[in-house]
Structure 1
Amino acid sequence: MGFLDRGLEIKTPAQVDDMRRAGLVVGRTLELLRGAVRPGISTGELDAIAEESIRSSGATPSFLGYHGFPASICASVNDEVVHGIPGDRVLQPGDVISIDCGAIVADDAGQGWHGDAAITVAVGEVPAEVSDLMRATEAAMWRGIGAARVGGRVTDISHAVETQVRGAGSYGILEDYVGHGIGTQMHLPPNVPNFGKAGRGPRLVQGLALAVEPMITLGGKQTDVLDDDWTVVTTDGSWAAHFEHTFVLTDTGTWVLTALDGGEEMLTSLGVPFGGRTGTKD
């Protein structure tokens, strides 16, 4: 592992493989949670499912205890954008829930490596505008990941996210909450905003792992934090969506470490070279 460009953490291929293992734990846990979302289940029950999934995989929840956060997932419902604390809230038909999940897998030397991803799931049928918001947010995440190239700049990702969102409708893009570097810690430099001009920020290089996570609303970009000091809600009460994946640039292309297929299907559809390696997908 090396460091360059103002302290960026650059991973070796072996360390990327360790991150892939963490990413698979996260990806599988999120798919389990996607299937568990239904009317009548509580966000606390979803959290219990997540913790059991992560620990049974030999990993540790990244979020539990992080700066005092009391759960293994963030569960944010409707106008809650991110960082919702799981608890007694019971999901109702027509809700949407953003589930953010992180896991740590230790290598042979005991060093922990992080994976981080998020999905937004509809609880039964939701209004068309909400479905459109979810599709626009997920598409923006993939466009952002797809814009990353060795030799490019971090805000190439930002610009691609914003361009995709602006082309999809009149949505709010959160500016105070952004994507980030990831590796031996969950949050590392650089920040990865979801808006801005291309060609700025640190240079993208092989071995740089980033989490891209657009947070998009049906209304404005302004947010407040609830009295629990964690839950971020839209100021205007508009509903929100949030998607996230962790990816890395390799010598052959882009590898989405938290996608079960490594991102191969979506990257191929975008014309982006897939950078996964045989033997580390499963």
Structure 2
Amino acid sequence: MRNTGLVHAPPEVVAAALRHTATAETALAAAGVRARAAAGTGELLVPGDELSWRARIAGLPVPLTTRVLRADTTGLSSVLVRGPLPELAHDGHLVAAGPHTRLTDAVSWRAPFGGLGRLADAAVVRRFVLRLLRSRVAVVRELAESWARRRIVVGAAIVRDGRLLVQQRARPAELAGRWELPGGRVEDGEDEQDAVVRECVEELGIGVRPRGRIGTDVPLGDHLLLRVHLARPADGATAAALEHRQVRWVGAAELGELDWLDADRVLVHSLRPLLR
């Protein structure tokens, strides 16, 4: 069963809204379901995160736990890992439609208990799932379209020879010692790629060549949206910690060992494929 809707925001923003824990919880609540999204890395779901929810169908409580398999700019998918159903899978698929995004949200399942289960499925479950899908599209649309109006902060994923350049915060005190990608706010009238180049000069003292966006966008607080661009350093460039405690080049195996800022941590699974 599926539902499709048009969202007036680019796919990277819509994908972030799909990943947000509030999307799952709010959409399920609108369908009469209590849910808790256990995102281990922040407000955005990443592969491996689990969503536990308890539905009441035909008067009976139905506890379920699903696990995220995919969370990227093409959408989000999950499967059942605990619950009374033999099978349950969700797939939210995104396709660019000009400056907007078409979201197709689909759920498939297999009912238990043979013929009796199929009868209950036809009578009750399908109505519940359709209500849930409509609610999800509405929640994603509202969230993504509000985020699309936010001010942009750029991040630079600088890659050389299969390694990523990261920097360690020196301040403020509550963030000191944690790691992040270089970057900063886009100034008024400034192009995003120009902002990437400027921030890398200011923070690292190196020139870079932006190569396009990677991963989904990431909401920051109530007013900002982080957007990460892949970049290559200029030939022979040596990065310096001009505004941070230190900088270092890391490989794919080291990504999970760093104490990332929350906003950067939810991007790690998108960064890893770049480091091969």
TM-score (norm 1): 0.24
The structure with the largest alpha-carbon Rg is: 2
Between Structure 1 and Structure 2, the one with more strand by share is 2
